[in-house]
Amino acid sequence: MQKIPFSRKELHEYLEKISFSPAKKFGQNFLLDENIHKAIVESAELCQEDAVLEIGPGLGHLTTHIIGKAGIYWGIEIDRRLHSLLKERFSSLPGVQILSMDILSSKHEINPEVWKAIEEVILNRPYKIVANLPYNISAPVISNFLEAIPQPSLLVVTVQKEVAKRLVAKADTSDYGPLSIHTQLYSDVKEIRNIPPNCFYPAPKVDSTVVMLRPHPLRSDITNKDFLFSLIQSAFSMRRKTLYNCLRNSTSLNLSTESIHQSLEKSKISPERRGETLSLEECIVLANAFQER
């Protein structure tokens, strides 16, 4: 198997040789630090019982460290030229599939062909997602897989540092929002390590962070999941407004003044608070209070 170039100079020469330029529209920033790849794979706790999905394998830098440690590997690459290179390099290996498709069918939805591939490939194995995610798709990919049936048993992914801060943020902080609550409702999430721009080629303009998410089922005490998420979106819709005003002006919830006052009182939450001060627990209590009326 041809060695994948890890140094910046080697990679630049290799890309020139094959007449390839990284595409901004696909978020192609190739992580070159081999020690970070090893750390990502180590954090994923891979074994032969696992199936691994890598989204956007690119030139195969991380792929090289995944294959062999998991029983089944499949990569999804949107760039047809990279897909051809990956197939040439890896597809003859046992348990390896390289698929050419977009992971998303729309801005917020996973491609149905991906779900079909998962059903066909995992064959009742636990599956994990290990990837350096393109920045522009990281939030919808994470959110969708956390709600998937079956859920992955683990996600170890590289994302923009700003997104990582939102994933782990706590109530009443500037990074806290709907993504924080959604992620923490479905998983235990933690930051693993930060990655500076100079570890990538081409270097992005922002820092990156490796995060680990360990999914779990949605809590059984949530009365209505859809209502809960609509309430969260409404509560955060106008950060400078009070919680009462956000709920009263919500067109998606269409709540009466009476129901808002009664539910806030039952939940022991002041109508003068702002949505971003609500903890995950308080969001659940308030949503359930509306449903119990």
Check residue 6 and give its pLDDT. Answer: 74
Domain co-membership, 59 together with 177: yes
Q: Are residues 248 and 206 in the same domain?
A: no
- Determine the Cα–Cα distance for residues 75 and 57; give it in Å rounded to an integer: 6
- Of 156, 186, 215, the residue at which a domain comes to its end is 215
Note the pLDDT of residue 141: 98
* Same-domain pairing of 99 and 26: yes
> What pLDDT score was predicted for residue 5?
66
> Is the pTM of the predicted complex or chain greater than 0.85?
yes
Residue segments in the chain with a per-residue pLDDT below the cut of 50: none
Regarding whether 122 and 252 lie in a shared domain, the answer is no
> What pLDDT, on the 0 to 100 scale, is given for residue 123?
67
Q: What is the pLDDT of residues 14-41, one digit of tens each?
A: 999 999 999 989 999 999 999 999 999 9
- The residue range of the domain holding 257 is 225-291
The helix (run of H) or strand (run of E) holding residue 246 is helix 243-248
Q: What is the pLDDT of residue 73?
A: 95
Tokens 């990582």 -> residue: 164
**Side-chain-side CA neighbours of residue 124 (13 Å):** 0
For 22, 96, 199, 270, the CA distances from 15, given in Å and listed in that order, are 9, 24, 17, 59
Residue 177 tokens read as 């929002």
